[in-house]
A and B are shown apart, each in its own frame.
Chain A
Amino acid sequence: MDPFGKYLKAVSARSTLKEVLKKAQDGGIVSTLFIYALENNILDGVVVADKEDEFLPKPKVATTPEEVIEAAGTKYSVCPNIAEIKKAAREYGCEKIGVVGTPCQIRAVRKAMKYPVGFRGVNIEFLIGIFCMENFPYNGLRVIVEELCGVKMEDVVKLDIGKGKFWVYTRWGETKTVKLKETHPYEQSSCHVCTDYTAELADVSTGSVGSPDGWSTVFIRTVKGKEIFSEAVENGYFEIKSIETVKPGLDLVKKLSLTKKEKNMKEIEHRKELGLPVPVKL
């Protein structure tokens, strides 16, 4: 089974923008790429996942670097980014739109680009995908944070998944964890038919797995993705390291990707046996 989908190059990277690194989940790849693209007129609007109080995700159209930075960081709950794409074109008048999304969202956008039946005049230029193992409905997240970790949602400053645990960082400087195994019952069940871990259809995909803390693993997949990422590197927006020189490297990404694919392929087969519908691939 192909673990990553097509890509031209993989690297480990980190932003050089201090204000991004302060807020970023990992290496600040998404925010920095969008900031570079907005500053250089490659894009004039980007759809990002921002949040309201208590870590409630809310998609947003950002047209300035400040708005991009505001939205940095992973939310671990459903954020319907694609719902805002037409708004970016109509209400914000964006002609070159960038979108960040989970693998399923990137797939949705590819479909809307190829079959733009309800998307008149919506020009999507650039897609950044983030690695995703699964997501949680908001109240699932709330149970994990409040009941399993004993932290009030209003006190959370950062959430993370890594090293087999779900991590909650509070504004009082505390860190609480819970084993990932205990969070499984709160996963969104529609994630269990997804067989894409690394956002295989994005122009550039990124995630924490494979790179050291504070760095991100980046797959550059398309010609457009390569152009924009290379230019950003040349202009000093990123530090990069060869993926072969970092630990744990692509082997771990591969392992997790194949785990997701195999597990969810089994679930798809299981649902078929039960007579339940599965996503229709043509």
Chain B
Amino acid sequence: MVKVAHVQLSSCCGCLISLTDTYEKLLEILNSIELVYCQTLIDVREIKECDVALVEGSVCLEDHHALEVAKEVREKAKIVVALGACAAFGGLTRYCKGNQLPKPVNSSFSPLTEVIKVDYSIPGCPPSPEAIYSFIKALLNNDEAYLKPYKLLAEMPEVCGCDLLYKVVNKELCMGCGTCSASCPTRAITMVDGRPVVDPVLCIKCGLCSFQCPRILYPSLLEEIE
């Protein structure tokens, strides 16, 4: 049995909800794993040794307990997965600036990927249940080819809607398919003259648009159709 832990740092628990939102597929997942730690679902107080830790949320640097938890996850898990925008890229918490009660000093939040070495990053706010399911299946089957984009993403903690400009439109690569616009959870991207226009006020830095853009990454396993 593969031992899995779910760890929540500064996050909304939406990523875990998305995982459970796989309905009957969740039972299939639970049949092939042993959930050893998950504060929302089971009564275990200490993070256990595990094969995979799914971590959601970013790390509040003023909260030393959070930093210790992050380090502990790295020590106890063979594979650490940054699940969702906050753990992977900071997400909404990139905009935190403190001065709120009862902890006005809690102002600095870093994605988990900037605090410890992370093996895979899954973008999205939240990542879709279907994607989390496929990811876990691939992890259980050791399907490295499928997991590769998530592995690459773990090296890139800084994402933004601006990626579409920097990496695609500015580089003569955008052909105007509109995938970025469909994937955006806040409708920050509209297609104008066949190109994405990103409203920076709406962008929550979840990494979805640049992950889904077929001109940034195109896994060759997609060539197989049946």
Contact = CB atoms under 8 A, between A and B. Distances in A.
Interface of A: 5-6, 59, 77-87, 101, 104-105, 107-112, 114-121, 135, 137-139, 188-191, 193-194, 200-201, 203, 221-223, 271, 276-282
Interface of B: 18, 21, 122-124, 127-131, 134, 145-146, 148-149, 152, 167, 171-179, 181-185, 191, 193-194, 208-209, 211-212, 214-223, 225-226
Contact of A119 (B128, B174, B176): B128
B212 A281 contact: no
Contact of A120 (B129, B149, B174, B216): B129
Contacts of A188: 175-176, 194
B220 A82 contact: no
Contacts of A77: 194
A111 B175 contact: no
Contact of B214 (A6, A108, A139, A200): A108
Contact of A117 (B122, B178, B181, B214): B122
Contacts of A112: 179, 182-183, 212
A118 B182 CA distance: 8
Contacts of B219: 111, 114-115, 281-282
A274 to B, nearest CB: 11
A282 B43 CA distance: 41
A201 B181 CA distance: 22
Given A114-B222, A115-B134, A118-B124, A86 B182 contact: yes
A104 B175 contact: yes
A119 B182 contact: yes
Contacts of A107: 214, 218, 222
Contacts of A118: 123-124, 128, 182-185, 208-209, 211-212
Given A77-B194, A115-B149, A138-B193, A201 B223 contact: yes
Nearest to B216: A280
Contacts of A114: 134, 146, 219, 221-222
A16 B212 CA distance: 38
A120 B130 contact: yes
A273 to B, nearest CB: 15
Contacts of A271: 172
Nearest first, the 4 closest Cβ-Cβ pairs linking A and B are: A80-B178, A83-B178, A78-B194, A118-B183
Contacts of B217: 280, 282
A108 B128 contact: no
A110 B224 CA distance: 10
17 contacts: A77-B194, A79-B194, A80-B178, A85-B182, A101-B177, A107-B222, A111-B222, A112-B179, A114-B134, A114-B222, A115-B131, A115-B211, A117-B212, A119-B130, A119-B183, A137-B194, A221-B225
Contacts of B221: 114
A111 B214 contact: yes
A277 B123 CA distance: 23
B172 A276 contact: yes
B177 A117 contact: no
Contacts of A191: 175
B103 to A, nearest CB: 32
B59 to A, nearest CB: 22
Given A111-B212, A117-B128, A118-B212, A279 B194 contact: no
B194 A193 contact: no
